[in-house]
Amino acid sequence: MADPASSFAPQPAGATGVLVLAAGQVVWGRGFGAEGAAVGEVCFNTAMTGYEEIMTDPSYAGQIVTFTFPHIGNVGVNEEDVESAVDGAVGCVVREDVTLPSNFRSTGTFGDWLAAKGKIGLSGVDTRALTRLIRLSGAPNAVIAHSAEGKFDLPALLKRAQDWPGLEGMDLARVVSRSDNEDWQGGVWALGKGYARSPHSPRPHVVAMDFGAKDNIFRNLVKAGAQVTVVPGNTPLDDVLALKPAGVFLSNGPGDPAATGIYAVPVIQGLLERDVPVFGICLGHQMLGLAAGAKTAKMHQGHRGANHPVKRLEDGVVEITSMNHGFAVDNAALPDGVVETHVSLFDGSNCGIAIKGKRAFGVQYHPEASPGPMDSFYLFERFVGMLG
CATH number of the domain where residue 130 is located: 3.50.30.20
The reported pTM is 0.96
| Tens-level pLDDT at each residue, the chain (388 residues) | 234 444 588 999 999 999 999 999 999 999 999 999 999 999 999 999 999 999 999 999 999 999 999 999 999 999 999 999 998 999 999 999 999 999 999 999 999 999 999 999 999 999 999 999 999 999 999 999 999 999 999 999 999 999 999 999 999 999 999 999 999 998 888 888 888 887 777 899 999 999 999 999 999 999 999 999 999 999 999 999 999 999 999 999 999 999 999 999 999 999 999 999 999 999 999 999 999 999 999 999 999 999 999 999 999 999 999 999 999 999 999 999 999 999 999 999 999 999 999 999 999 999 999 888 889 999 999 999 999 7
Residues 232 and 375 in one domain: yes
Nearest to 156 by CA among 166, 148, 145: 145
Residues 153 and 184 in one domain: no
Residues 6+ apart with CB under 8 A from 346: 303, 308, 309
Q: Residue 199's pLDDT is what?
A: 79
Residues 29 and 139 in one domain: yes
Q: Which of 163, 181, 197 corresponds to the end of one domain?
A: 163
Could you tell me if residue 211 is inside a domain? yes
Could you tell me if residue 31 is inside a domain? yes
Could you tell me if residue 168 is inside a domain? no
Could you tell me if residue 21 is inside a domain? yes
Q: Residue 7's pLDDT is what?
A: 58
Query: Residue 241: which domain range?
Result: 173-385
Q: Which of 101, 128, 163 corresponds to the end of one domain?
A: 163
Q: Residue 78's pLDDT is what?
A: 96
CB 177 within 8 A of CB 61: no
SS3 percent helix, strand, coil of the chain, rounded to 5, is: 25, 30, 45
**For residue 12, cis peptide bond before it (omega within 30 degrees of 0):** no
Q: Residue 164 is inside which H or E element, if any?
A: none
Residues 206 and 71 in one domain: no
Say how many domains are in the chain.
Answer: 2
Q: Residue 286's pLDDT is what?
A: 98
Residues 68 and 198 in one domain: no
Residues 139 and 195 in one domain: no
Could you tell me if residue 196 is inside a domain? yes
Residues 286 and 211 in one domain: yes
How buried is 388 (Cβ within 10 angstroms: 0-12 exposed, 13-18 middle, 19+ buried)? exposed
Q: Residue 124's pLDDT is what?
A: 97
Own/partner pairs, 341-344, CB within 8 angstroms, 24+ separation: 341/312, 341/313, 341/314, 342/310, 342/311, 342/312, 342/313, 343/310, 343/311, 343/313, 344/303, 344/308, 344/309, 344/310, 344/311
CA distance 34 to 11: 20
Residues 154 and 178 in one domain: no
DSSP per position, 269-281? HHHHHTT--EEEE
Residues 183 and 154 in one domain: no
How buried is 45 (Cβ within 10 angstroms: 0-12 exposed, 13-18 middle, 19+ buried)? buried
Residues labelled catalytic: 282, 366, 368
Q: Which of 163, 191, 220 corresponds to the end of one domain?
A: 163
Distances, alpha carbon 340 to alpha carbons 124, 291, 345, in Å: 42, 15, 14
Beta-bridge partner residues of 65:
43, 92
Q: Residue 3's pLDDT is what?
A: 45
Residues 227 and 368 in one domain: yes
Q: Residue 192 is inside which H or E element, if any?
A: none
Residues 130 and 177 in one domain: no
Could you tell me if residue 146 is inside a domain? yes
